[in-house]
């Protein structure tokens, strides 16, 4: 990943290269990291993260995904999960800004883990409904406790293998405004979940894919998504990839500094 990251740093552009008014505005106002925000929502989420990072309770993991690059076996402390599986504050805040900007109402969050990034999505629009999916019952129980602690009443936590739970849930949902894909980091499931969610996407939907350069399989999955005829604007920020479906402009892919 280091080689790929260096390549990204060489290729990534900023607002001066952007001719698309939509992407220019979005990049300057929403994507580009702003001054350190002391937003009250951010403070409560980061205090919770701090507590989880010092929690030495051990749990047994059930893994339906590509596994960890760091740990072997199925025993983990909550501190280890909080340090290695959760997206950092920078990315939680990016999702928060995107959801608040687009006023996304129906949100699909694949891969809850301890729920830190789910809470960012929940707080970004309290009027939204967040469907969050986790396969590991022990991890999901901690996430649910975290949602209760921060009064996130708009989250429905769905426990089970996403291969089964996603199609069932999507059958009950009319449309998806925002989706965050951070569960099974393999080619086939990533593409399958994308296609399933795509069927409920609309002109203003936003999809965010995590770890698009994490492995060869994820690289291939990102290539599939980027070249899909319905994915009209894609933005590679290296650790995440954004997808927009606006028909108002020609298909374009961007690699932007983040």
Ligand X SMILES: C[S@@+](CC[C@H](N)C(=O)[O-])C[C@H]1O[C@@H](n2cnc3c(N)ncnc32)[C@H](O)[C@@H]1O
Residues making contact with ligand X (CB under 6 A): 63-65, 85-87, 111, 113, 116-117, 133-136, 139, 161-163, 182-184
Radius of gyration of the chain (CA): 17
When the beta carbons of 65 and 141 are compared against ligand X, the nearer one is: 65
In the numeric block, the tokens 């199925």 are attached to: 74
C-beta of 86 vs 236, nearer to ligand X: 86
3-state secondary structure of 57: coil
CB of 70 to ligand X, least distance (A): 11
Give the pairing of strands 240-244 and 233-236: antiparallel
CB of 66 to ligand X, least distance (A): 7
Considering beta carbons, is residue 57 or 227 the nearer one to ligand X? 57
Residue number with CB closer to ligand X (9 or 137): 137
Q: Which ranges in the chain belong to alpha helices (H)?
A: 2-11, 21-26, 40-53, 78-84, 89-102, 116-124, 137-149, 162-170, 187-198, 216-227
Q: Which residues pair with 60 in a beta bridge?
A: 75
Q: What's the half-sphere exposure (Cβ side, CA atoms, 13 Å) at 237?
A: 19
Min dist CB 87 to ligand X, Å, is: 4
Q: How near is the Cβ of 186 to ligand X at its closest, in Å?
A: 9
Measured from the CB atom, is 27 or 180 closer to ligand X? Answer: 180
Q: Using CB atoms within 10 Å of the CB of residue 10, give its burial: 0 to 12 exposed, 13 to 18 middle, 19+ buried.
A: exposed
Helix axes 116-124, 89-102, angle to 10 degrees: 30
User: Strands 155-159 and 129-134: what pairing?
Assistant: parallel
Q: How far is CA 67 from the centre of its chain?
A: 17
Smallest distance, Å, CB 185 to ligand X? 7
In the bound state with ligand X, the residue whose beta carbon lies nearer, of 177 and 211, is 211
Minimal distance in Å, beta carbon 116 to ligand X?
A: 4
- Order of strands, edge to edge, in the sheet holding 106-110? 155-159, 129-134, 106-110, 178-181, 206-210, 240-244, 233-236, 252-255
139 vs 234 by CB, closer to ligand X: 139
State the nearest-atom distance from the C-beta of 83 to ligand X, in Å. Answer: 11
């Amino acid at each position: 990943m280091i080689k790929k990251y260096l390549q990204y740093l060489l290729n990534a552009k900023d607002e001066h290269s952007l001719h698309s008014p939509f992407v220019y505005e979005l990049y300057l106002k929403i994507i580009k990291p702003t001054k350190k925000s002391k937003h009250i929502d951010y403070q409560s989420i980061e205090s919770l993260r701090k507590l989880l990072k010092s929690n030495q309770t051990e749990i047994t993991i059930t893994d339906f995904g590509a596994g960890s690059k760091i740990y072997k076996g199925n025993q983990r402390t909550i501190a280890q999960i909080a340090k290695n599986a959760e997206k950092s504050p920078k990315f939680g805040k990016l999702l928060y800004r995107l959801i608040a900007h687009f006023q996304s109402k129906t949100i699909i969050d694949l891969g809850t883990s301890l729920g830190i990034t789910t809470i960012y999505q929940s707080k970004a629009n309290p009027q939204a409904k967040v469907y969050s999916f986790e396969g590991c019952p022990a991890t999901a129980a901690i996430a649910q406790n975290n949602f209760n602690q921060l009064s996130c009443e708009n989250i429905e936590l769905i426990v089970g293998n996403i291969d089964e739970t996603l199609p069932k849930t999507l059958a009950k949902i009319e449309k998806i405004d925002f989706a965050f894909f951070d569960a099974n980091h393999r080619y086939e499931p990533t593409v399958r979940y994308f296609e399933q969610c795509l069927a409920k996407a609309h002109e203003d939907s936003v999809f965010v894919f995590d770890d698009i350069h994490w492995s060869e399989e994820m690289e291939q999955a990102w290539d599939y998504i980027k070249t899909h005829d319905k994915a009209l604007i894609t933005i590679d920020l290296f650790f995440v990839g954004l997808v927009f479906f606006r028909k108002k402009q020609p298909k374009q892919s961007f690699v932007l500094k983040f």
